[in-house]
């Protein structure tokens, strides 16, 4: 039961290590006032939204928004200054690269730091984190810190919490890493394309008093990013996006970008007024592309079987495996020969672990499992939706790897590679 | 020329003797990428012609010529950078064409390609008889000015000028935006010794050679100001002498460019220019299409285009094309044309069209043609589409290929 006497905003403010940042408290009060209005009437809420000060919103609505964004460093409000807390600093870049899923299958992707998936963050709970995200592409991007309770100005939702990061721009994200657990990050701009291909990565927040490590004394842990790729969709849309952005960036540089050109509107009323004036939204009849991604390649950490990396274990060892669904379809990971424990979901420890041999990871979800090495051998670990264990329709492939005991002596049978059964 | 033809025939003969008449095994489960494109074009035309001594003539008609369907098929070979393709296309000739058919097979070609080259054999648009696609409603609206005419066919058929058999090799070098090509061509022939006989004598006889070099960036990618296309080409036709006693060679030089005048993608100005110099051979008069095609001539065509693209989507385009041509060895044999056109986008691929065309011929030419001048106004509708199924092959003119060195090549199919 929820204790309704507790103001969740107030409670949130009192979480450990929350900075005593007056500016942050100020917008919490503003948010509380807005929430109160929302309870009165939805229509009133809409009217209130239209009354926001345009100067505090997207610069794209400002008069003559000609901006030389290349080289610009944007440091939004909402987090302590550099001299107020000790930040752990990281650099991320958005790049356009060509990625090989498996020999003979390469495709263009947007990537973090030129790799798929992006680099794994490992920080301690309540560390202050500063990430300088620089856009080296001609497309726009943001970073959403999925499952992390960051200030809203750091949440990375374009046109809701920030303007997208323009080509050549650096955006500085600052936040406190909490709560502990298996989290991830992904681009939130044009999410169907960008998150899938392939702007996603793991963000691991370690707790000093991790109950999972206390219950299962593991020393090694593995991060498995589960991915689904429609390489044709990606290729086509990156081509289309790059061509379109040439025009958008040109108009923006000339200060002539209009809301209808890019589909950005300050208010819902502006949106409907544009339609009344003749603008046709791209989802409408006769305008809609109507193409949905249909992935035919499935990967773990950017690689399809047999290019996937094995998971090593020794007899008598506990290992922790952090499963993250970085894509947009569900996966059902089955481990042969073992009953593992599911110990966390969405990064948060479960009150009681579950004994499983197959675990479903839906889009946006993470799950932590612990495997105990009690059955030496070579054990397949794969998505049991066998359509995802194929490379372009050829079995076996895709989301398949192996739990391999490293301390076996003279095993009676050793694995080889099958490409087409 | 003779040597080239002999070598080619010898090589093809070896292939035919050594090969099978049937295809080798096919993997029916490996479907090709399928491109299905088409354009239905229907206009109502009103023409008012000054026929000189014969008086005036005027009339209106409904014209569906240049409507077409094209099917393209492609698949990768044994790597993901080498590809094969085939294209089949049908178009509608003009009603008064000497083709006397309701359909014309304007595309039938097979090719293979790789990262830097492509080889194609079959029938298609001739590679070097024009370099620029001018903004007129139909291909033949300014054909006399924009194309090197077929000097072997005396039929009244634009298809004989625009299309032909060919064995064409294209080299994409020194960069992805450059290409050079060489082609042996097979234009349609009628009997040169008997111009009154307009029946087709051959459409397969290799009777030409084309060479070209171009810088080309697709308009969909290059919209800012500056050069988008520049090309030069040589077109050489091997023709039977009108006396029926021998053969002659007819070279022509072509140069063209497309230039974007501004860098506003919502209000885009562009200019297209093309010049053709036909070296000509001795010809007695300008009375028919073969003799006009063989006469020494030069022509210039220029178009100014403005496209209004609110929301980065073309709403309408207005264009003005002017052209002039002179048959240099004849006095009073110049012709001039002006053709403003307008296209209004009603929806994706659906357009309302309008065009006015005025053509004036100098006296000598006018007498030969029996046409001093003509005014033509047309209004119509166009429904065009370009759909791809089982998309598995890249596109050579994609931005990833052209600007990011991500080899993702394939044939340039589609179109109409």
Residue B9 belongs to some domain of the structure = no
Count, in order, helices (H) and strands (E) of chain A. 8, 20
CATH number, domain at B229?
Answer: 2.40.160.10
* B24 at interface of A, judged by CB pairs closer than 8 A: no
> How far is it, in rounded angstroms, from Cα B384 to Cα B379?
16
d(CA B67, CA B92): 5
Instruction: Give the C-alpha distances (Å, rounded to integers) separating B137 from A343, A361, B103, B382, B397.
Output: 69, 56, 19, 9, 25
Which of A158-162, A307-311, B6-10, B94-98 is predicted most confidently? Answer: A307-311
CA atoms of B356 and B364, how far apart (whole Å): 25
B404 and A250: CB-CB below 8 Å? no
Distance CA B225, CA B227 (A): 7
DSSP string covering A65-83? -----TT-EE--SSS--TT
Nearest to B306 by CA among B257, B350, B271: B271
Confidence of residue A109 (pLDDT cuts 50, 70, 90): very high
Distances in whole angstroms, Cα of residue A408 to Cα of each of A309, A380, A413, B242, B327:
18, 16, 11, 90, 90
**Minimal-distance CA residue of chain B relative to A274:** B311
Residue from A59, A265, A277, A321 nearest A165 by CA = A59
- The pLDDT of residue A262 is above 50: yes
Nearest residue of A to residue B396, measured between CA atoms: A239
- Reply yes or no on whether the pLDDT at A206 is more than 60: yes
Is residue A259 included in any domain, yes or no? Answer: no
CA distance A259 to B369: 56
- Which residues have C-beta within 8 Å of that of residue A400, sequence separation ≥ 6? A300, A305, A308, A380, A381, A382, A383, A389
- Interface size A-B, in CB pairs within 8 Å, comes to 61
Q: CB distance from B223 to chain A under 8 Å?
A: yes
pLDDT tens digit sequence for A316-354:
999 999 999 989 999 999 999 999 999 999 999 999 999
Q: How far is B225 from chain A (nearest CA, A)?
A: 11
Give the per-residue pLDDT at A34: 35
Q: Are A323 and A359 in contact (CB under 8 A)?
A: yes
Considering CB atoms only, which of A96, A280, A287 is closest to B404?
A96
CB-CB neighbors (< 8 A) of B32 in chain A: none
A258 found inside a domain: no
Facing residue for B80 by CB, picked from A104, A254, A286: A104
> A286, B348: Cβ pair inside 8 Å?
yes
The alpha carbon dihedral of A61, A62, A67, A70 has a sign of negative
Domain count, chain B: 1
CA separation, residue B368 to residues B142, B190, B250, B285 (Å): 18, 20, 22, 8
The percent of chain A in helix, strand and coil, each rounded to the nearest 5, is 20, 35, 45
Interface test with B, best of A103, A167, A193, A239 (most B CBs within 10 A): A239
Unique residue bearing structure tokens 């990013």: A225
Residue B170, phi then psi, degrees to nearest 5: -125, 135
| CATH label of the domain that carries residue A389 | 2.60.40.420
Contact A343, A370 (CB under 8 A): yes
Interface of A with B in 286-345 (CB under 8 A): 286-287
* Residue A365 included in any domain: yes
Residue-wise pLDDT for B142-171, tens only, equals 999 999 999 999 998 999 999 999 999 999
The structure tokens listed for B162 are 């625009």
CA distance, residue B355 to nearest chain A CA (Å)? 26
The strand pairing partners of A145, in sequence order, are: A185
Domain that holds residue B325: 35-402
What DSSP character marks residue A309?
P
Which pLDDT does position A22 carry in this prediction? 34
Q: What's the residue count for chain B?
A: 416
Number of folded domains that form chain A: 1
> Does residue B302 form part of some domain?
yes
* Contact (CB, 8 A) for B415 and B36: no
B75 to chain A nearest CA, in Å?
14
CA B252 to each of CA A287, B128, B139, B160, B331: distance values in angstroms, whole numbers, following the listed order: 45, 9, 20, 17, 21
- The model's pLDDT over A8-36, given as tens digits with 9 standing for 90+, comes to 333 333 333 333 333 333 333 333 333 33
> Residue A251: its pLDDT value, please?
82
Q: How far apart are CA B287 and CA A285, in angstroms?
A: 54
A274–chain B Cβ distance below 8 A for any pair = no
User: Taking CB atoms and an 8 Å cutoff, what residues of chain A touch B414?
Assistant: none
* Residue A71 domain-assigned (yes or no): no
Measured distance CA(B162)–CA(A180) in Å, rounded:
70
Alpha carbon of A290: minimum distance to chain B alpha carbons (Å): 13
**pLDDT tens, per residue, chain B with 416 residues:** 445 445 444 444 444 444 455 778 888 788 999 999 999 999 999 999 999 888 999 999 999 999 999 999 999 998 878 999 999 999 999 988 888 778 999 999 999 999 899 999 999 999 999 999 999 999 889 999 999 999 999 998 999 999 999 999 999 988 888 999 999 999 999 998 888 888 899 999 999 999 999 999 988 888 889 999 999 999 999 999 988 888 999 999 999 999 999 988 889 999 999 999 999 999 988 988 999 999 999 999 999 999 998 888 889 999 999 999 999 999 999 999 999 999 999 998 999 999 999 999 998 888 878 899 999 999 999 999 999 899 888 888 888 888 887 777 788 765 55
B chain contacts of residue A106, beta-carbon cutoff 8 Å: 80
Sheet containing A170-176, strands listed edge to edge, beginning at the edge strand earlier in sequence: A73-74, A170-176, A128-135, A87-102, A105-112
Q: Is B403 on the interface with A (CB under 8 A)?
A: yes
Say yes or no for a CB contact (<8 Å) between B311 and A261: yes
CB contact under 8 A, A239 and B400: yes
Neighbours of B248 (CB within 10 A): 15
Which residue of chain B comes nearest to A106, CA vs CA?
Answer: B80
Please report residues of A whose CB lies closer than 8 A to that of B265: 246-247, 250-251
Q: Is the residue at B2 inside a domain? A: no
In a domain, A344, yes or no: yes
Q: Is residue A381 part of a domain?
A: yes
Is A146 within a domain? no
Backbone phi, psi, residue A132, to 5° = -90, 110
Nearest to A200 by CA among A129, A125, A147: A147
What is the domain range of residue A317?
297-405
In a domain, B350, yes or no: yes
Q: Do B312 and A247 touch (CB under 8 A)?
A: yes
ipTM of the complex: 0.84
Number of helices (H), then strands (E), belonging to chain B: the values are 6, 17
The sheet with strand A378-383 has its strands ordered as A311-313, A400-405, A378-383, A331-335, A358-361
Q: Smallest CA–CA separation between B289 and chain A, in Å?
A: 44
B16 domain residue, yes or no = no
Q: Beta-strand (E) ranges in A128-196?
A: 128-135, 144-146, 170-176, 181-186
Alpha-carbon span B315 to B342, nearest angstrom: 11
Residue A288's CB is within 10 A of a number of other CB atoms, namely 11
Asked if residue A377 is part of any domain, the answer here is yes
The reply to whether B407 falls in a domain is no
DSSP A391: B
| Residue B415 in domain | no
Residue of A nearest to B387 (CA): A289
Domain-embedded: residue B387: yes
B80 in contact with A, Cβ within 8 Å: yes
């Amino acid at each position: 039961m929820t204790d309704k006497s507790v103001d969740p905003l107030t409670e949130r403010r009192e979480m450990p290590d929350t900075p005593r940042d007056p500016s942050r408290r100020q917008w919490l009060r503003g948010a509380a006032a807005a929430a109160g209005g929302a309870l009165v009437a939805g229509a009133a809420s809409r009217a209130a939204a239209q009354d926001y000060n345009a100067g505090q919103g997207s610069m794209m609505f400002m008069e003559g928004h000609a901006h030389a964004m290349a080289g610009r460093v944007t440091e939004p409000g909402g987090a302590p200054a550099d001299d107020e807390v000790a930040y752990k600093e990281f650099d991320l870049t958005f790049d356009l690269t060509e990625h090989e899923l498996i020999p003979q299958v390469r495709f263009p992707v947007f990537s973090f730091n030129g790799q798929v998936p992006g680099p794994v963050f490992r920080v301690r709970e309540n560390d202050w984190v500063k990430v300088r995200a620089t856009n080296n592409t001609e497309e726009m991007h943001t970073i959403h810190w999925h499952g992390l309770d960051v200030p809203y100005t750091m949440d990375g939702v374009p046109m809701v919490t920030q303007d997208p990061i323009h080509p050549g721009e650096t955006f500085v994200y600052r936040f406190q890493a909490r709560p502990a657990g298996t989290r991830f990050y992904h681009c939130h701009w044009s999410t169907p394309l960008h998150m899938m291909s392939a702007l996603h990565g793991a963000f691991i927040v370690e707790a000093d008093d991790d109950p999972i490590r206390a219950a299962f004394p593991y020393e090694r842990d593995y991060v498995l990013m589960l991915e689904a790729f429609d390489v044709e969709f990606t290729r086509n849309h990156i081509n289309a996006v790059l061509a379109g952005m040439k025009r958008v960036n040109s108009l923006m540089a000339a200060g002539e970008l209009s809301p209808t050109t890019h589909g950005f509107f300050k208010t819902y009323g502006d949106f409907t007024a544009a339609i009344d004036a003749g603008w046709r939204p791209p989802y409408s009849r006769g305008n809609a592309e109507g193409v949905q991604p249909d992935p035919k390649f499935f990967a773990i950490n950017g690689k399809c079987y047999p290019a996937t990396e094995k998971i090593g274990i020794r007899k008598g060892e506990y290992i922790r495996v952090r499963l993250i669904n970085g894509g947009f379809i569900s996966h059902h990971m089955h481990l042969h020969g073992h009953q593992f424990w599911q110990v966390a979901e969405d990064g948060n420890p479960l009150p009681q672990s579950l004994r499983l041999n197959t675990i479903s990871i839906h889009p946006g979800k993470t799950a932590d499992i612990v495997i105990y090495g009690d059955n030496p051998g070579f054990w397949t670990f794969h998505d049991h939706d066998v359509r995802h264990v194929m490379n372009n329709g050829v079995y076996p492939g895709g989301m398949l790897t192996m739990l391999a005991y490293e301390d076996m002596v003279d095993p009676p049978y050793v694995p080889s590679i099958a490409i087409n059964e | 020329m003779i040597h080239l033809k002999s070598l080619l025939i010898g090589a093809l003969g070896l292939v035919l003797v050594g090969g099978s008449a049937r295809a080798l095994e096919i993997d029916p489960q490996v479907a090709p990428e399928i491109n299905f494109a088409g354009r239905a074009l229907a206009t109502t035309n009103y023409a008012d012609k000054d026929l000189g001594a014969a008086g005036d003539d005027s009339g209106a008609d409904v014209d569906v010529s240049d409507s077409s369907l094209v099917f393209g098929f492609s698949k990768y070979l044994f790597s993901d950078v080498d590809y094969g393709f085939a294209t089949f296309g049908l178009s509608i000739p003009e009603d008064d064409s000497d083709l006397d058919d309701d359909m014309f097979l304007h595309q039938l070609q097979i090719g293979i390609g790789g990262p830097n080259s492509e080889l194609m054999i079959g029938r298609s648009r001739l590679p070097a008889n024009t370099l620029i696609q001018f903004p007129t409603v139909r291909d033949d609206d300014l054909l006399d000015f924009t194309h090197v005419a077929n000097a072997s066919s005396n039929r009244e058929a634009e298809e004989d000028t625009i299309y032909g058999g060919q064995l064409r090799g294209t080299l994409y070098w020194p960069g992805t935006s450059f290409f050079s090509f060489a082609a042996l061509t097979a234009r349609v022939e009628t009997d040169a010794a008997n111009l009154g006989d307009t029946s087709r004598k051959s459409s397969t006889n290799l009777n030409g050679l084309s060479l070209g070099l171009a810088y080309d960036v697709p308009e969909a990618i290059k919209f800012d100001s500056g050069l988008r296309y520049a090309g030069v080409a040589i077109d050489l036709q091997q023709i039977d002498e009108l006396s029926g006693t021998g053969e002659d060679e007819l070279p022509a030089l072509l140069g063209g460019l497309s230039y974007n005048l501004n860098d506003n993608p919502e209000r885009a100005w562009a200019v297209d220019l093309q010049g053709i110099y036909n070296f000509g051979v001795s010809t007695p008069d300008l009375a028919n299409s073969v003799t006009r095609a063989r006469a020494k001539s030069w022509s210039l065509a220029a178009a100014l285009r403005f496209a209004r693209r609110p929301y980065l989507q073309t709403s309408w385009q207005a264009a003005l094309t002017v052209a002039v041509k002179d048959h240099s060895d004849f006095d009073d044999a110049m012709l001039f044309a002006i053709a403003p056109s307008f296209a209004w986008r009603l929806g994706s691929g659906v357009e309302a069209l309008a065009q006015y065309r005025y053509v004036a011929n100098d006296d000598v030419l006018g007498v030969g043609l029996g046409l001093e001048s003509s005014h033509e106004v047309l209004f119509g509708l166009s429904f065009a589409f370009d759909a791809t199924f089982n998309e598995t092959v890249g596109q050579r003119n994609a931005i990833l290929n052209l600007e990011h060195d991500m080899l993702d090549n394939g044939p340039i199919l589609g179109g109409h």
